């Protein structure tokens, strides 16, 4: 093993360098445009924290080489049922427990279906996404209060502050980091993602790990659902709808390979989620318009992934 | 012997669409309805066959090669937007507009493929970036207003059963020809079954992949055109709002894969799409709520996958029971 040159090391830090560059760009653009940088920073945290929570948990699923597209719909259903529980009981702890409980139940159904019936996880989650999105419509219909389910804003306002949200995120990251880094679960998940055949022959129970990964991810979904209600207490059919795709983008943006395996890292999700948050805020400050803003976002996303891939490109096309 | 096998394969190929038709017709009769009650029912059915068949081809061409594509809906939206806007500005009829939509969509597919082969980023990631990029392009192109052709009766008048059948038949014929009877198709199948060996024997993988993306794009151009000509308008979508189009293609793709054991796979996909079109028609005839439609479609997908992934175990249990009798 020779010493790595700076050029060889760049890909490993591309995502973090990307985040630092975006933070710098955010301050520079804010200065040039004379924007309220502190207010924008609050918006970045509010936008990014839910994606970061869901994406951090999803790292376990992605590490296994699996893929879950139903995370956004699961967050939406958890939030709707949590809000309904709050309206019925007036208790924030009950709302919190319902958010977590519903997310765990959905995660368990998802992973059990895939494990027991040997279904391809991606297609199972596509089906689950349809079912959950439809269930959101049914829940809103049942509630009988128009197109929304509302929690009184003043009831959740005490929790709608940055320190609380950052504390929730930090606690969850610490839990995931502990499980992923210090317990055999993380090592086994990386092994399965890197070489499933070899992992199976070594006696690692793939089905059990898939269920554990879904359950850990479900806690992130439940926390994300809870903070969604706290931030935007008027929920509708589109609540959290974009989170499923945002999570994939965040994980890849954060430098983790979508195929999982040994290069998976818990912090990728947080780096990616905040990179996206800063990028959106920069686009908003530049006032480019939604279309051009999204085009630039897409180009930067592809550029960061391209740099992060580094020298891993082979002779054959990647599949 | 050969004739018997042919007959058996034909019967098995038609098993799913016929069974779906019988079950749905029986359900309709139970409600005092007929599945094909009037001309509108036939039109809806053939439009669904065309849309689902073409989308499923577009998805499966790349997915079979391990290239997942989230950008299909965005390609359809952007090509229809460009074609609709140009048709308005140049005052051209439906056929030139269709040609523009197909050409633009093929170019978009080619650009997508180009980014993929140049950057070597995993295809699923490239497709996410391209979906975002194309959605942004469509939005910027129309200033977010979308396209409206409601006053263009010549274009809206294109939505006839005859045209739907023609477009489906031409697409199926061209895809069968391209993938089963040309060198391109032979290379595609070789790369599909053994990428490394195929490349080492001299097959040009990059050219083949670019071709697949272009064909897939062209098919989505037709889908975009059909949708725009039918409704007379094209709405814009941002933040992955366009990816839902692709999810309609999963069930017909798996059904097509099963039917493909007995008949040409592309024809199998068309028969799978026909089964889905019958289900869509039944939803419309029974006035089924969209939430219930989503749940039923998802359950059908899961049930079919459970059967496919456990077929051996299910069949051997069934045979054991028969032997015991």
Write out pLDDT tens, residues B187-232.
999 999 889 999 999 999 999 999 999 999 999 999 999 999 999 9
Q: ipTM, 2 decimals?
A: 0.89
Q: B234 and B298: one domain?
A: no
> Quick check: is B6 in a domain?
no
Tell me the pLDDT tens digit for each residue of A197-252.
Answer: 898 888 898 888 988 999 999 999 999 999 999 999 999 988 888 888 889 889 98
Q: For position A141, what pLDDT does the model report?
A: 87
Q: What's domain A13-25+36-308's architecture?
A: Orthogonal Bundle (1.10)
Return the residue of A nearest to B144 by Cα.
Answer: A291
Domain limits for position B303? 291-325
Q: B299 and B191: one domain?
A: no
Q: Which residues of A touch B77 (CB under 8 A)?
A: none
Contact A256, A268 (CB under 8 A): yes
Q: Which residues of A touch B117 (CB under 8 A)?
A: 317
Side-chain half-sphere exposure of B255, counting CA atoms within 13 A: 30
Confidence at A7, pLDDT banded by 50, 70, 90: low
Residues of chain A with pLDDT > 70, as a percent, come to 94
Closest CA to A236 of A97, A158, A143: A143
Residues 6+ apart with CB under 8 A from A116: none
> Quick check: is B47 in a domain?
yes
Q: B223 and B297: one domain?
A: no
Confidence at A3, pLDDT banded by 50, 70, 90: low
Q: B223 and B324: one domain?
A: no
Q: Choose, out of B291, B293, B297, B313, the residue to mutate when testing the contact with A (most A CBs < 10 Å).
A: B291
Distance, CA of A10 to CA of B303 (rounded, Å): 47
Confidence at A289, pLDDT banded by 50, 70, 90: confident
Q: Which two tokens stand for residue B207?
A: 């050219």
Q: B283 and B296: one domain?
A: no
Triad B71, B17, B302: Cα angle to 5°: 55
Q: B96 and B226: one domain?
A: yes
Q: Which two tokens stand for residue B125?
A: 């990631």
Q: Which two tokens stand for residue B189?
A: 């199948």
Residue A132 scores a pLDDT above 60: yes
Closest CA to A141 of A269, A237, A241: A237
Q: For position B319, what pLDDT does the model report?
A: 81
E strand or H helix at A150: strand A149-150
Cβ separation of A297 and B136 shorter than 8 Å? Answer: yes
Q: B283 and B297: one domain?
A: no
How far apart, in Å, are the Cα atoms of A30 and each of A43, A283, A289, A294? Answer: 14, 11, 17, 19
Cβ separation of B302 and A133 shorter than 8 Å? Answer: no
**Region B179-188 average pLDDT:** 95
Tell me the pLDDT tens digit for each residue of A10-44.
Answer: 666 778 888 999 999 999 999 998 888 999 999 99
Q: Which residues of B touch A319 (CB under 8 A)?
A: 65-67, 122-123, 195
Distance, CA of B159 to CA of A74 (rounded, Å): 38
Task: Give how many domains chain B has, as a whole number.
Answer: 2
Q: B299 and B184: one domain?
A: no
Nearest chain A Cα distance for residue B275, angstroms: 18
Q: For position A4, what pLDDT does the model report?
A: 60
SS3 assignment, position B234:
strand
Q: What is the mean pLDDT of chain A?
A: 88
Nearest chain B Cα distance for residue A110, angstroms: 11
Q: B181 and B74: one domain?
A: yes
Q: B61 and B202: one domain?
A: yes
Q: B48 and B114: one domain?
A: yes
SS3 assignment, position A304:
helix
Q: Which residues of A touch B250 (CB under 8 A)?
A: 123, 126
Residue whose tokens read 């006053």: B151
**Region A116-127 average pLDDT:** 82
A145 compared with B216, residue with greater pLDDT: B216
The model carries a pTM of 0.89
Q: For position A1, what pLDDT does the model report?
A: 44
> Quick check: is B25 in a domain?
no
SS3 assignment, position B30:
helix
Residue B83 scores a pLDDT above 70: yes
A11 compared with A166, residue with greater pLDDT: A166
Q: B63 and B166: one domain?
A: yes
Residue A162 scores a pLDDT above 90: yes
Contact B144, A290 (CB under 8 A): yes
DSSP one-letter code for B143: T
Closest CA to A73 of B136, B295, B127: B295
Tell me the pLDDT tens digit for each residue of B239-278.
Answer: 888 988 888 899 999 999 999 999 999 999 999 999 999 9
**Region B288-310 average pLDDT:** 89
Candidates A252, A259, A295; nearest CB to B137: A295
DSSP one-letter code for A158: G
Confidence at A262, pLDDT banded by 50, 70, 90: confident
Nearest chain B Cα distance for residue A312, angstroms: 9
């Amino acid at each position: 093993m020779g010493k790595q040159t700076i050029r060889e090391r760049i890909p490993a830090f591309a995502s973090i360098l990307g985040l630092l560059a975006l933070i710098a760009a955010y301050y520079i653009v804010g200065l040039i445009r004379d924007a309220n940088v502190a207010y924008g920073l609050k918006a970045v945290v509010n936008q990014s924290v839910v994606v970061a929570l869901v994406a951090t948990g999803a790292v376990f699923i992605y590490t296994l080489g699996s893929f879950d597209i139903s995370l956004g719909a699961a967050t939406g259903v958890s939030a709707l049922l949590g809000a309904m529980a709050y309206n019925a009981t007036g208790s924030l702890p009950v709302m919190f427990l319902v958010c977590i409980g519903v997310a765990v139940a959905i995660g368990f159904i998802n992973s059990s279906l895939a494990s027991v019936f040997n279904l391809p996880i991606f297609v199972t989650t596509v089906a689950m996404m349809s079912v959950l999105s439809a269930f959101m419509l049914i829940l809103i219909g049942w509630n009988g209060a128009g197109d929304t389910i509302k929690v009184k804003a003043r009831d959740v306002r005490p929790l709608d502050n940055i320190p609380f949200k950052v504390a929730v995120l930090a606690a969850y990251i610490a839990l995931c980091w502990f499980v992923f880094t210090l317990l055999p679960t993380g090592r086994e998940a990386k092994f399965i993602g890197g070489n499933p055949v070899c992992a199976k022959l070594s006696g690692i129970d793939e089905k059990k790990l898939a269920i554990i990964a879904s359950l850990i991810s479900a806690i992130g979904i439940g926390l994300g659902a809870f903070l969604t209600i706290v931030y935007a207490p008027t929920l509708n059919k589109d609540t959290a709808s974009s989170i499923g795709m945002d999570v994939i983008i965040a994980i890849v943006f954060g430098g983790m390979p979508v195929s999982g395996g040994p290069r998976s890292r818990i912090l990728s999700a947080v780096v990616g989620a905040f990179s996206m948050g800063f990028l959106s805020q920069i686009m908003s400050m530049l006032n480019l318009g939604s279309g051009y803003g999204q085009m630039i976002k897409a180009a930067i996303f592809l550029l960061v992934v391209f740099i992060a891939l580094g020298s891993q490109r082979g002779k054959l096309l990647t599949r | 012997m050969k004739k018997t096998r042919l007959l058996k394969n034909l019967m098995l190929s038609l098993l799913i669409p016929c069974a779906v038709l019988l079950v749905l017709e029986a359900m309709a009769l139970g409600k005092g309805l007929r599945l094909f009650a009037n001309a509108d029912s036939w039109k809806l059915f053939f439009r669904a066959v065309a849309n689902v068949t073409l989308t499923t081809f577009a998805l499966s061409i790349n997915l079979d090669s391990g290239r997942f594509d989230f950008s299909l809906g965005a390609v359809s939206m952007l090509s229809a937007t460009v074609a609709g806007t140009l048709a308005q500005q140049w005052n051209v009829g439906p056929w030139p507009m269709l040609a523009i939509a197909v050409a633009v969509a093929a170019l978009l597919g080619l650009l997508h493929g180009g980014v993929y082969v140049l950057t070597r980023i995993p295809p699923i990631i490239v497709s996410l970036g391209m979906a975002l990029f194309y959605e942004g392009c469509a939005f910027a192109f129309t200033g977010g207003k979308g396209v409206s052709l409601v006053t263009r009766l010549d274009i809206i008048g294109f939505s006839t059963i005859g045209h739907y059948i023609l477009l489906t038949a031409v697409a199926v014929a061209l895809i069968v020809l391209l993938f089963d009877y040309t060198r391109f198709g032979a290379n595609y199948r070789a790369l599909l079954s053994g990428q490394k060996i195929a490349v080492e024997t001299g097959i040009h993988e990059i050219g083949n992949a670019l071709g697949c993306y272009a064909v897939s794009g062209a098919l989505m151009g037709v889908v975009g055109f059909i949708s725009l000509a039918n409704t007379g308008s094209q709405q814009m979508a941002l933040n992955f709002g366009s990816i839902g189009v692709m999810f309609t293609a999963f069930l017909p793709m798996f059904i097509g894969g099963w039917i493909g054991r007995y008949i040409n796979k592309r024809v199998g996909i068309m028969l799978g799409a026909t089964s889905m079109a019958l289900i869509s028609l039944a939803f419309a005839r029974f006035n089924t709520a969209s939430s219930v439609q989503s749940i039923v479609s998802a359950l059908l997908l899961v049930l079919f996958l459970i059967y496919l992934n456990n077929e051996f175990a299910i069949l051997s249990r069934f045979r054991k029971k028969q032997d015991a009798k």
